[in-house]
Amino acid sequence: MTVHLVGAGPGDPELLTLKAVRLLEEADVVVYDRLVDERVLALAAPWARFVDVGKVPGAPADSQQRINERLVALGRRFGQVVRLKGGDPFVFGRGGEEAEALRAAGIAVDVVPGVSSAIAAPAMAGIPVTLRGVSSGFTVVTAHQDPSTDDRLDWGALARLGTTLVVLMGASRAGAVADRLIAGGMPADTPVAVVTSATLPDQHVTRTELGALPTTPVASPSVIVIGEVAAARVLDPVLAELGPTLQGAPA
Ligand SMILES: C[S@@+](CC[C@H](N)C(=O)[O-])C[C@H]1O[C@@H](n2cnc3c(N)ncnc32)[C@H](O)[C@@H]1O
């Protein structure tokens, strides 16, 4: 009896790991949430049961607690449970909390890392998060906490790092993020790229500057890349803007 916390990657099924595919094929139960692509779920065996625990924005605060309890119950009842999580389970996926709850209940748990949108989304837009002579590091943060009230992230320090800033869950708070970074000293003309639905057929990329981010529409799911590399276009620009539909097509 094991619950496997499996990274499903950013969407494109070809970015699953071989281990993720094997575990899906062997699973008795697949527990999944909102961002997992249907083509990934289709890889499970015909006998597998599916449990949708998708949280929608604005869901009650205790919904993660209920998910933990369901995982424990499923882990006690079935031999192989795959808990699929978008991207990597331990990158803003609450996989750590689920692993702790399962271990506390005496249920075996393992983790299968996945390709995180934090690096996949910039890459698909032709943006290397590090680039020799331009950016020697990158920091991944969430905008989910309201940056105008949340003290846990030091936005002033982030503004001064001089490396690439990758913001997840920023769809509704991009403007507040920009305001805090500019207040912290980041120039308003810092390049920004918003990569939406990365690796999926409807992928699109919006290039802008930090000062214009508050008036730039940011759909969900998006990764916001802030820093000099956001102006880079190391892939064919037409293909990078149009995404995987054309990138995978024969010439
Ligand atoms: C709850 S976090 C989970 C992150 C995930 N564990 C990972 O490693 O990618 C959800 C956020 O990931 C980002 N995201 C996930 N999939 C994405 C995609 N295909 N394109 C753009 N952003 C994505 C968005 O910022 C979204 O709000």
Q: What is the dihedral of CA 104, 106, 108, 112, to 10 degrees?
A: -10
Going from the Cα of 165 to the center of ligand 1, the distance in angstroms, rounded, reads: 15
Task: Return d(Cα 182, Cα 17) in angstroms, integer.
Answer: 39
Task: Return d(Cα 118, Cα 129) in angstroms, integer.
Answer: 9
What pTM does this model have?
0.91
User: Tens place of pLDDT for every residue, the chain, 251 residues?
Assistant: 899 999 999 999 999 999 999 999 999 999 998 778 899 999 999 999 999 998 666 666 558 899 999 999 999 999 999 999 999 999 998 999 999 999 999 999 999 999 999 999 999 999 999 999 999 999 999 997 655 555 589 999 999 999 999 999 999 999 999 999 999 999 999 999 999 999 999 999 999 999 999 999 999 999 999 999 999 888 866 555 555 554 554 44
Give 167-200 pLDDT, tens digit per residue.
999 999 999 999 999 999 999 999 999 999 999 9
Q: What are the tokens at 114?
A: 């996945």
Q: Is 221 in the pocket of ligand 1 (CB under 6 A)?
A: yes
Give 68-96 pLDDT, tens digit per residue.
999 999 999 999 999 999 999 999 989 99
Taking Cα atoms as reference points, which of 77, 14, 49, 35 lies closest to residue 196? 35
Going from the Cα of 229 to the center of ligand 1, the distance in angstroms, rounded, reads: 20
Q: Is 140 in the pocket of ligand 1 (CB under 6 A)?
A: no
